[in-house]
Amino acid sequence: MFRAAHSVKGGAAMLSLDSIKTTAHRLEDCFKVLKDGPVKQVDQTAESLFLKGVDTLKDLLARLEGPFGLRNEEGEKLVQQVMPVFAQLETHLNNLAKGKVAAGTGAAGAAKTGSAPPADFAVQVMALLKEMLQVFKQKESAASRQQLGLVCDKLGKLGTGIGTWQTLIKFAKAATADSKNSFKVLAPLIIKEVKEAGDLVQGGKVKAIAPSKNLQLLAVASKKAAASTPAAAPKETAAATKPVALPAEPKAVVKLLLKTFNKKQLSEIAKLLIHAIKSSS
C-alpha cells in the first residue's frame, strides 16, 4: 500500500494533478509510519481514518474521469477538507507506535469517526440523484413512484445519523409518493434541494439543511391525503352524484361548489369543463 501510494503520487506529479498528488503523498506518509514504526496492531480508529483518506483519493479520481474533469478549485477544496483527517491519523499512528493509546480507546474513536459521513458523500449523492432522474423520465405510475421511494431510502441510509438530512429526505419521499404531484414539478425541486444538501453535508454545514416551503407543502398535502378516513368517501360520492340546484349569483355558485365538492373533485370538474369548452369551440 505504501508503494501504491508512492506510485500514484509520482504519476499525479508528472501530470500536474496537484490535489491527487497531495492526497497520495499524505497517504504515503501515514503508511510510512506503519512501515518504519513498531506498530504491533492497527486499531479501528486508524482503519477508519485511513479509509477516509482513501475515499478522498477515490473521489478525486472519479471526478477526474467524469465528463467535466477535475477542476483545480474543486480538488483543492477536497484536499483542505481531508487534511485534518491525515493530521489526526498521523498523530494516532505515532501514539500507537509509542504505546500511548490505552486499551479500548481505538474502538471508541472508531465509533465516533464512524458517525461522520463518507469523504465522497456529495459524489454518492449525485450518483443516486442520477438514478432518481432516470425514474423521473419514466411514465408516472405507482411502480415509478415506488422506485423513487427506494432511491429516497438509499439517500436516507447514506446520511444515517444526520438529523437535518433525514428530515429533508423524508419530505422528498412523502412528496414523490403523492400521485397528485407531477414528476415535472417534483424532479427539479427535489434534485436541486438534495444536491445542495449533499454539498452542505460534504462541507460540514449540516445545520444549514432545511426543506423549502414548496417541498414541505407538497409533502404535507400527501400526508393529509393519506390521513383522510375511508368513511368520508361514501359521503363525498353521494354529494357528487346528488342533483344540485345552482343559485343565480356566481359568487353563491362558487360557495356552493366549495361546500359540496372536495379539491380533487373540483379539479376534475375544471378539467372536464375546459375540455368541453375546447371541443365546442
Query: What pLDDT is stored for residue 125 in this prediction?
Result: 93
Q: Map out the domains of the chain as residue ranges.
A: 2-114, 121-227, 232-280
The answer to which of 112-116, 171-175, 247-251, 272-276 has the lowest mean pLDDT is: 112-116
pTM: 0.44
Identify the band that residue 279 occupies on the pLDDT scale cut at 50, 70 and 90: low
Q: Which of 130-134, 229-233, 246-250 has the highest mean pLDDT?
A: 130-134
Residues 110 and 48 sit within 8 Å (Cβ to Cβ): yes
Residue-wise pLDDT tens digits, 49-73 = 899 999 999 999 988 888 888 888 8
Q: How many residues does the chain have?
A: 281
Query: What pLDDT is stored for residue 160 in this prediction?
Result: 86
Residue-wise pLDDT tens digits, 196-205 = 999 888 888 8
**Percent of the chain having pLDDT more than 70?**
81
Instruction: Please check the confidence at residue 47 and state whether its pLDDT lies above 90.
Output: no
Question: All 3 cell numbers of residue 139?
Answer: 411514465
